[in-house]
Structure 1
């Protein structure tokens, strides 16, 4: 009993030392933050990443650097982030195709698209639009279908890569319409759009954000938009439903993910910055002008969305016999 006060003092000192150790840890972020993008500069994912990086840098008081790592359908970028320290200094700006990786590459990747990442928030959405270039100078979806059916397997469509959202959207379309086309995968949307304008490929089921400037300038032609309603940015372009292809829908999300195990306070701070980003009028205007809508689904809802998409895309790949090329 006489020793109890000493034990109490020792215990109290231990608590004080532990508290001092916690308080001595530097506040996050104490250095620049890196956002890895799995596509080349200039595409919609890169555009969203850079807009968010500018906003986040002002909010966090540290530089936020965008690091483009294109290739292997964003697997290289995702792998870099999955293997990075879970300290909040290396993040992934992912897109819809992130949930398509298990359907095509499950046995080849060194990470799990669900378990290796902590979902932070989605940042933007963009509908898919069927665009054609000079190699296919037509104005309507009906004319497109007529030409494609007249030359089975000869007409081409460009995508940002095998297993990308554009690849799945295109394959879904060909199944619905009973058509056959030749898939030309690229290492990002920017390269695909360049060749579409140059006439090297016939068409692309592209995110609106990746082709809007070219559509507005007349360098490309939009035949239909995969959205419930017409886009206010393309009021004269019908939806696929209006143009006669029933039950076809496709959109793309862009969102922020961190390595699994990232501390909860860091994730909470990132989510706060992401929500500020999507609510800012400058963000809304900028993204809308690029064919996107600011949209923030954070934490558990975002995680549930990822789980649902992995399940659905795996089933779709099986049904459509989609394979990595």
Structure 2
């Protein structure tokens, strides 16, 4: 149940950015045959981020929005609609007109995972969201309070197992990777840890620093300053590749803990309401492909602990189908289910 960034994923992204993807070529031919492209955008573009301002997803959305506005000549407004593990904001997008003026920048949580976590959703991720691009792969760090007597993953697991019912872990929302991975750790170690869900990463990190929590998974954007200052202790990184922003921090996998739950990674992606015309998606992706080359965008993406992808809609759809059974299994293994 591995989901590392593969050579194929990277080649897909590079091919797309270089303008040589089959999808981009096909889209260009189709537009040429149909005449001039549909007029878009004709008014300001709203980008909904279903999480609080200031988080890694929000920063990526604002960076891309700023670059997109310059290219299309229309304002791009970021609309933070946090709540219910990304459901509220995502639902607002799928119910918006499918004219390319309402977009979604979110995590795999609301775009994929929630369909396995919740018994009822107001939208169907597979039918109601048009997949535009995976902006970046999103591995995260595992950090603990300095008082936790563990310096690597194996030591942490031993500590968790020896302190049944005494420890708490945080997440940035129910159903997030931080929740599922923490629940998986608790279950496999028979630790009976308490889960504390927060509205975003920032309050979670402050609680961890304050000692109300013992551990959490979180983006490097939020943890690196406190790792550097010694206020948090870093245990490892998810996925199978080290982060460029934290090159000395080993992955959990390379520490010999090879559970798929820690090798998997989420992603940050862009979507739109289902039914948006292909011509508009092609125009949008054409701009995104160029934006991906912008040094400022690359710097902020890497600085947030992400691995740039910006792949084509077709590559996104293929990866989505590949990832679905993996996330479904993790939700089941974690025993997480919500109404």
Contact 1:148 1:180 in 2 (8 A): no
Q: Which runs of 5+ in 1 are unaligned?
A: 1-21
Relative to 1, partners in 2 of residues 1:288 and 1:26: Cα closer, same or farther, differing over 3 Å? closer
* Structure 1 position 115 matched with structure 2 position 127: yes
Q: CA RMSD in A?
A: 2.4
Question: What's 1:268 paired with?
Answer: 282
Question: What's 2:194 paired with?
Answer: 182
Question: What's 1:191 paired with?
Answer: 203
* Structure 1 position 125 matched with structure 2 position 137: yes
Cα distance, 1:138 vs structure 2? 4.4
- Which is bigger in relative contact order (C-alpha 8 A, separation at least 6)? 2
2: distance between equivalents of 1:24 and 1:121? 23
- Of the three residues 41, 44, 49, the one matched with 1:37 is 49
* Structure 1 position 309 matched with structure 2 position 319: no
1: distance between equivalents of 2:193 and 2:286? 44
1:82-93 matched pairs, under 5 angstroms: 82-93=94-105
1: distance between equivalents of 2:149 and 2:48? 37
1: distance between equivalents of 2:57 and 2:117? 21
- Of the three residues 97, 101, 111, the one matched with 2:114 is 101
2: distance between equivalents of 1:25 and 1:282? 29
2: distance between equivalents of 1:88 and 1:306? 21
2: distance between equivalents of 1:273 and 1:265? 13
- Between Structure 1 and Structure 2, whose CA radius of gyration is higher? 1
Question: What's 2:248 paired with?
Answer: 236
Q: Deviations over 1:200-220 (max 9, x none)?
A: 211111233332233233332
Contact 1:177 1:245 in 2 (8 A): no
Q: Which runs of 5+ in 2 are unaligned?
A: 1-33
What's the TM-score, normalizing by structure 1? 0.85
Is the partner of 2:78 in helix, strand or coil?
strand
Question: What's 1:136 paired with?
Answer: 148
Cα distance, 1:97 vs structure 2? 0.8
Contact 2:108 2:267 in 1 (8 A): yes
Cα distance, 1:162 vs structure 2? 0.9
- Of the three residues 237, 256, 264, the one matched with 1:250 is 264
Is the partner of 1:253 in helix, strand or coil?
strand
2: distance between equivalents of 1:292 and 1:23? 38
Relative to 1, partners in 2 of residues 1:135 and 1:308: Cα closer, same or farther, differing over 3 Å? same
Cα distance, 1:137 vs structure 2? 6.1
* Structure 1 position 164 matched with structure 2 position 158: no
Relative to 1, partners in 2 of residues 1:97 and 1:187: Cα closer, same or farther, differing over 3 Å? same
Cα distance, 1:153 vs structure 2? 2.7
Is the partner of 1:170 in helix, strand or coil?
helix
- Of the three residues 69, 77, 80, the one matched with 1:65 is 77
Question: What's 1:148 paired with?
Answer: 160
1: distance between equivalents of 2:139 and 2:37? 43
Is the partner of 1:42 in helix, strand or coil?
coil
2: distance between equivalents of 1:115 and 1:95? 17
Cα distance, 1:128 vs structure 2? 2.1
Is the partner of 2:87 in helix, strand or coil?
helix
Cα distance, 1:134 vs structure 2? 4.5
Contact 1:149 1:180 in 2 (8 A): no
Relative to 1, partners in 2 of residues 1:313 and 1:213: Cα closer, same or farther, differing over 3 Å? same
Q: Deviations over 1:60-97 (max 9, x none)?
A: 11110111111100000011001001011111112121
2: distance between equivalents of 1:246 and 1:219? 28
Question: What's 1:286 paired with?
Answer: 300
